[in-house]
Amino acid sequence: MKRNREEEKEEEKNKKKMEIVWQNPTYPAQKEDYIFHNGKRHVRPYYFEFVSHVNKRWEGKTIVDLFAQEFRGRSKDYYVSAVKCGRIQVDGENIPVSYIVKRCQKISHFLHRHEPPVMAWNVAILQNEPDVLTVCKPASVPVHPCGQYRKNTVLGILQAEHGLAPLYPIHRLDRLVSGLLIMTKNPARADIFRQHIEAGLVQKQYVAKVVGVFPEGEQVVDANVDYNAREGRSSALVGIPNGDTALKGKAACTKFTRISTNGTHSIVLCEPVTGRTHQIRVHLQYTGHPIANDMLYLSVNVVGRSTLGTTADRAAALSGSSPATSCENHNEEYKYCNQDLTIDPMCTHCPNLAPNGYDEHEEGLWLHCVRYSGPEWVYECPYPDWASLS
């Protein structure tokens, strides 16, 4: 009888292992979701329901053709199998592979989700006030869910490790940029900050490590920034419009002041007056002193990201330097073990932690936000280690 009870317990334990918990965007990140391995913060793969709705372009297609044409990351055979086993549903119902979708229908794709890893630096809390939270955002970590990232974000990590949610970022930092990030704990306070920003009452300061000896004295770059979404990079444009043809891009202005130099690199204070995509990076390139590990802007003729990617540490390796920052507190609480992971038989990424195609060398830029100030408020972040040229 004792043996039977033990067998029942083991059977129940195995049964629970087989149960799938389908997560959605409202499912909170948990501390145990993270695995730290080789200096990277990984997210334990999990089951997730991706939801979309049939638009005009999709209407009239079979469910398999829709996925094969619009979501090319997986093969048509995979989508056939996913429909047959109910991993792809329409309006919550299983459908045949020949099913033709109709406008506005809800399509669910149930996937074993693998998020890209980020660097294992902590999200350091700087100030925790009743309505405002400021942190030092590590390079490589997105601010909020986007693309393949959901739990491996500043918001996800703060919720999982500190129970801080909901939070409302009042500005954004690119994923590869580190430094000061200001968030509020309620929408009303966020609106006040946004009003200050929209009224031009907020001053922003960044530091960058650039190539060469940057000139002394304040240098002002007033050049339009034209962002090419396909290439993932911006261009700085100056000149006089010809006739009825307006100058491309959006007006942009950045002030630069050299802090120090060692003859090879310079540390530069960057004060963007406007806020355009990659503005500081492309304006520094325009001066002839690009960020020293910025592969995307080290050369005017750099190949697009589809070929080289945006990996910052490739360039850092060429200069013999490391892109580490002052937030370099590696967390070794969790260790990676393949046996700890659920392997999904339909998953196209298993048994790897990272999704296929991830560039494992990507780290961060030598660009760091140090200060935001507005009417009667100032928030600051410590300088990173690379900002010292000694």
Helices first, then strands: H and E counts in the chain: 8, 18
3-state class (DSSP) for residue 32: helix
Residue 386 DSSP symbol? G
Angle, to 10 degrees, between the axis of helix 76-84 and the axis of helix 63-70?
A: 140
174 is catalytic: yes
Beta strands in the chain (DSSP E): 34-37, 40-43, 46-53, 88-90, 106-113, 118-119, 124-128, 132-137, 168-169, 178-184, 203-211, 219-222, 224-228, 233-237, 253-261, 265-272, 367-374, 377-380
Going by C-alpha positions, the residue among 89, 49, 46 that lies closest to residue 67 is: 89
Is residue 67 within a helix (H) or strand (E), and if so which, with residue range? helix 63-70
Amino acid at 209: K
Residue 157 DSSP symbol? H
Query: Beta partners for 167?
Result: none
Q: Residues 78-98, buried b or exposed e (16+ Cβ, 10 A)?
A: bbbebbeeebbbbeeeebeee
Burial class (CB in 10 A: 0-12, 13-18, 19+), 223: buried
Query: Beta partners for 124?
Result: 136
Alpha carbons 210 and 17: distance in angstroms, whole number? 51
Burial class (CB in 10 A: 0-12, 13-18, 19+), 217: exposed
Vertex 44 angle, CA 322 and 137, to 5°: 40
Q: Which of 33, 174, 226, 294 is catalytic?
A: 174
Going by C-alpha positions, the residue among 225, 300, 302, 290 that lies closest to residue 256 is: 290
Burial class (CB in 10 A: 0-12, 13-18, 19+), 273: middle
Q: Which residues are marked as active site?
A: 174
